[in-house]
Amino acid sequence: LANRVFHPADTVVDVSGVKVGGSEPIVVMGGPCSIESESHTDEMARLVGEAGGRIFRGGAYKPRTSPYAFQGLGSEGIRYMAVAGKKYGLPIVSELMSIDKLDEFVENVDLIQIGARNMQNFDLLKEVGKTKKPVLLKRGLANTIEEWLMSAEYIMAGGNENVILCERGIRTFEKYTRNTLDLSVVPIVKQRSHLPIVIDPSHATGDRKLVEAMSLAAIAAGADGLIIETHCDPPHALSDGAQCLYPSQFAFLIEKGREIARVV
Ligand code: PEP
Ligand code: MN
């Protein structure tokens, strides 16, 4: 179902009115790594919208490497996001980690993120496949393009064809960056599949100094969108501060993107 051969036309996924894919303008999704508080969520959604971001991101259920690290605000965080998203007219994207929270996400979230660590959680994929909710399927930390597309297939086989792929860097021997951004996936996925693909330069690099260059490169490569972490006080962010752009950098990046492509 994900294969271009049997479906030549580009798929455009409608995320509560924001269209991603095909000849639609490039969609920038932005927001903090973690949802931290009600007022912070409101402020971040406002800043993302003012900068030209079209979808508000934030994690309420966080897949942290250490069990002692901040695990997210859970349903409280989803509630803050839903309120801020409505207030500023931004659909919201957040990560679903377990099947038992599916109803909560179907009700409150516009785009369900399946994180890199769950790319091959086949039970989870099957369950989101039974809904009609758009899904942002991140590439696994060490998964091939073939495996990634087969995971998309799991979701689509259940009847949900609203899948957006997201490259977020893969594990290599390189230590200078958090992960290695594999931008070659953009033309490869475009050739193999009709699904939209967005790039996450934040988790791919782990370093805010590298985010702008990789974002512009992704646009030039033909990506359908970007998902970028931004925070008004990165040194004090509860997670991923080193890779979060300051809001002014986020706004500047969208301006620069507009110079090379039609960016909304
Ligand atoms: C995230 O988007 O905050 C996240 C945890 O991403 P990934 O699954 O790509 O690591
Ligand atoms: Mn993060």
**DSSP helix/strand/coil, 66:** coil
Q: Which protein residue has the closest C-alpha to ligand 1 atom 1?
A: 33
The number of the ligand 1 atom at minimal distance from the alpha carbon of 59 is 3
Distance 115 CA to ligand 1 centre (A): 5
Mean pLDDT of 117-143: 98
The CA distance from 143 to 172, in Å, is 11
Q: Which two tokens mark 141?
A: 């930390």
Q: Tens digits of per-residue pLDDT, 143-176?
A: 999 999 999 999 999 999 999 999 999 999 999 9
- Is pLDDT above 80 for 261? no
Residue 102: C-alpha distances to residues 15, 105, 140 (Å):
17, 5, 21
Instruction: Give percent of the chain with pLDDT exceeding 90.
Output: 98
Q: 197-199 and 163-167: which strand pairing?
A: parallel
Interval 51-75 mean pLDDT: 97
Pocket perturbation via mutation, ligand 1, pick of 34, 36, 138, 148 by most ligand atoms within 8 A of CB:
138
ipTM of the complex: 0.98
Ligand 1 atom closest to Cα of residue 200 = 9
Query: Hey, whose CA ends up nearest to atom 9 of ligand 1?
Result: 116
* Mean pLDDT across the chain: 97
Q: How far is the CA of 169 from the centre of ligand 1 (A)?
A: 10
The distance of Cα 256 from the centroid of its chain, to the nearest Å, equals 20
Mutual angle of helices 185-192 and 145-157, in 10-degree steps = 40
Q: Which domain holds residue 156?
A: 4-260
Kindly report, residue by residue over 185-240, the tens digit of the pLDDT.
999 999 999 999 999 999 999 999 999 999 999 999 999 999 999 999 999 999 99
In the predicted structure, residue 263 carries a pLDDT above the cut 80: no
Ligand 1 atom with minimal separation from the 227 CA: 2
- Whichever domain contains 183, its CATH number is 3.20.20.70
Task: Please report which confidence band the pLDDT of residue 260 belongs to, taking 50, 70 and 90 as the band edges.
Answer: confident
Contact at 8 Å (CB) between 114 and 137?
yes
Instruction: Indicate the pLDDT class of residue 264, thresholds 50, 70 and 90.
Output: low
Question: From the CA of 43, how far away is ligand 2's center (Å)?
Answer: 18
pTM strictly above 0.80: yes
State the closest ligand 1 atom to the C-alpha of 57, by its place in the atom list counted from 1: 2
pLDDT in tens, 87-106: 999 999 999 999 999 999 99
Split into its structural domains, the chain has a count of 1
Choose which residue among 35, 36, 55, 95 to substitute to test ligand 1 binding: the one with the highest number of ligand atoms within 8 A of its C-beta.
95
| Predicted pLDDT of residue 106 | 98
Residues framing ligand 1 (Cβ under 6 A): 33, 59, 63, 115-117, 138, 168, 203
